[in-house]
């Protein structure tokens, strides 16, 4: 446990989430989303999905009041030896460093591993909100000092809300901002799925009806289970689908393992939902979702047989229907996918930021990010013009 001292506050780096209690961690993050919960990060560590030889060395940051030792702020933090599992890509930067004879790794990253979901990255306790700017400045300095100590070339922060403590942090010390585009579904107080379709143009509405009809004509039915209703056999079935999807798409069995999903089932059952697609009582596809009080999150899916439009039904339409029935405000179905727009998912910006310690690369990467952002602004506007809803 390393300590960096400065006026009023101490900065500590923890090599395991277990070194801070769940009550303190979840209390500061106010259970804003499932993925920043102590239980989720603990499951990643217990299952060795992070730590060990994963390339994600745990180094969570804690800000403590020097006088009484109370925890003032927290940040999930990792020392990384690669760029896998991040979803804001910097592979070209690593190649540029290598071409110029410099090492790009390790790097210091504040993110939720393998999880491109926006959430608070710097949680500040309520009593310390008045010190937000001071804490943000001190955390930035501490991160830069930690990076120099590690001989790391960059400090990175991924997928934080636009208006949050993390945003205050990133307004200090000239962080380079970065945006990306994801697609969320928003519940406009629909009473039923048919009301949602009624808000669309006739052609788009007809297309979705045809896609859904093709799935149900195959004799496929869908069954939602809560985390508490899952058993070992069902988890094994889901894991097989998950691994098959990754193997087909990426050539490996995924970043997460059986132990991780087992621990989640034991510690986060209230946040978990599994959707199983059956044909003649045989499970042919499955998807894992998380939920909180306002949002449904689609995370992983897989299938054993190919059916027309089964992916759209399992990963999108069933989730939309669930949100309407349970009065959830939004549905985050995962990264990428322009095809989501025609199905009513609205483009939204997500945010990241960087400290580049080498001045020459800082200037070059800053220019790259400005060009990328100009393209993304145009892309964002274009995707809005392709939404399927009637023009009022």
Segment holding 283, helix H or strand E: strand 282-291
Q: Please tell me the total count of domains within the chain.
A: 2
Same domain, 144 and 52: yes
Q: What pLDDT shows up at residue 5?
A: 47
Burial 66-95 (b: 16+ CB within 10 A, else e): eeeeebbbbbbbbbbeebbbbbbebeebbe
Provide the CA 158 distance to its chain's centre, in angstroms.
9
Q: What pLDDT shows up at residue 139?
A: 94
Same domain, 16 and 145: yes
Considering the entire predicted model, what is its pTM? 0.94
Do the bridges between strand 295-303 and strand 330-332 make them parallel or antiparallel, or are there none, so unpaired? Answer: parallel
Same domain, 32 and 115: yes
What's the CA gap between 345 and 196, in Å, rounded?
12
Same domain, 268 and 359: no
358 within 8 A of 152, measured Cβ to Cβ: no
Give the domain extent around 24.
2-181+348-385
pLDDT digits (tens, 9 = 90+) for 44-78: 999 999 997 899 999 999 999 999 999 999 999 99
Q: What pLDDT shows up at residue 10?
A: 96
What's the CA gap between 317 and 209, in Å, rounded?
10
Asked if residue 335 belongs to a domain, the reply is no
CATH of the domain at 277: 3.40.630.30
Residue whose pair of structure tokens reads 């089932």 in the numeric block? 265
Asked if residue 340 belongs to a domain, the reply is no
Q: What pLDDT shows up at residue 322?
A: 99
Given 328, 359, 374, the domain boundary residue is 328
Segment holding 389, helix H or strand E: none
Same domain, 234 and 306: yes
Q: Output the 3-class SS for 187-205.
A: CCCCCCHHHHHHCECHHHH
pLDDT digits (tens, 9 = 90+) for 96-148: 999 999 999 999 999 999 999 999 999 999 999 999 989 999 999 999 999 99
Same domain, 95 and 230: no
Asked if residue 334 belongs to a domain, the reply is no
Structure tokens, 3: 């300590």
Q: Which residues contact 251 (CB under 8 A, 6 or more apart)?
A: none
Q: Cα–Cα distances in Å, from 196 out to 192, 223, 324, 348, 384?
A: 7, 21, 9, 19, 17
Same domain, 108 and 13: yes
DSSP states of 38-67 as a string? HHHHHHHHHTTSSSTTSSEEE-EEEEEETT
Q: What pLDDT shows up at residue 295?
A: 97
Same domain, 236 and 354: no
DSSP states of 136-181 as a string? HHHHHHHHHHHHHHHT-SEEEEEEE-SSSHHHHHTTSTTPEEEEEE
User: pLDDT in tens for each of the 392 residues of the chain?
Assistant: 444 444 589 999 999 999 999 999 999 998 778 999 999 999 999 999 999 789 999 999 999 999 999 999 999 999 999 999 999 999 999 999 999 999 999 999 999 999 999 999 999 999 999 999 899 999 999 999 999 999 999 999 999 887 777 777 777 778 999 999 999 999 999 999 999 999 999 999 999 999 999 999 999 999 999 999 999 999 999 999 999 999 888 888 899 999 999 999 999 999 999 999 999 999 999 999 999 999 999 999 999 888 999 999 999 999 999 999 999 999 999 887 889 999 999 999 999 999 999 999 999 999 999 999 999 999 999 999 999 998 76
Q: What pLDDT shows up at residue 392?
A: 67
Q: What pLDDT shows up at residue 360?
A: 94
Same domain, 28 and 86: yes
Same domain, 164 and 228: no
159 within 8 A of 35, measured Cβ to Cβ: no
Same domain, 209 and 112: no
């Amino acid at each position: 446990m390393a300590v960096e001292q400065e006026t009023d506050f101490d900065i500590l780096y923890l090599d395991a989430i277990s070194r801070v209690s769940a009550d303190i961690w979840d209390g500061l993050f106010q259970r804003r989303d499932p993925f920043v919960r102590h239980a989720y990060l603990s499951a990643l560590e217990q299952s060795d999905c992070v730590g060990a030889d994963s390339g994600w060395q745990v180094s969570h940051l804690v800000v403590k009041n020097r006088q009484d030792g109370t925890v003032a702020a927290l940040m999930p933090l990792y020392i990384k030896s690669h760029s896998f599992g991040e979803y804001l890509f910097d592979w070209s930067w690593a190649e540029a460093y290598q071409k110029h004879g410099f090492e790009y790794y390790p790097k210091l990253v504040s993110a939720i591993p393998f999880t491109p979901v926006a959430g608070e990255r710097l949680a500040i306790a309520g009593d310390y909100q008045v010190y937000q700017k001071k804490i943000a400045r001190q955390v930035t300095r501490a991160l830069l000092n930690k990076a120099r100590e590690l001989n790391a070339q960059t400090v990175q922060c991924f997928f934080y809300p636009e208006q949050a403590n993390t945003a205050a942090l990133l307004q200090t010390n000239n962080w380079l901002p970065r945006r990306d585009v994801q697609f969320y579904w928003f519940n406009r107080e629909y009473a039923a799925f048919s009301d949602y379709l009624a808000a669309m143009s006739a052609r788009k509405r007809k297309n979705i009806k045809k896609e859904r009809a093709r799935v149900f004509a195959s004799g496929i039915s869908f069954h939602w289970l809560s985390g508490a209703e899952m058993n070992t056999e069902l988890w094994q079935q889901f894991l097989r689908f998950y691994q098959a999807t990754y193997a087909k798409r990426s050539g490996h069995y995924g970043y997460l393992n059986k132990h991780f999903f087992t621990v989640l089932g034991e510690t986060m059952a209230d946040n978990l939902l599994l959707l199983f697609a059956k044909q003649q009582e045989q499970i042919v596809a499955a998807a894992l979702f998380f939920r909180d009080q306002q949002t449904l999150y689609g995370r992983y899916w897989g299938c054993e047989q190919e059916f027309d439009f089964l992916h759209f039904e399992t990963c999108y339409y069933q989730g939309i229907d669930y949100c309407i029935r349970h009065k959830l405000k939004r549905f985050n179905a995962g990264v990428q996918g322009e095809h989501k727009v025609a199905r009513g998912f609205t483009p939204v910006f997500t945010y990241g930021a960087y400290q580049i310690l080498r001045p020459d690369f800082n200037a070059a990467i800053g220019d790259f990010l400005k060009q990328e952002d100009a393209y993304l602004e145009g892309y964002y506007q274009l995707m809005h013009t392709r939404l399927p809803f009637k023009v009022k």
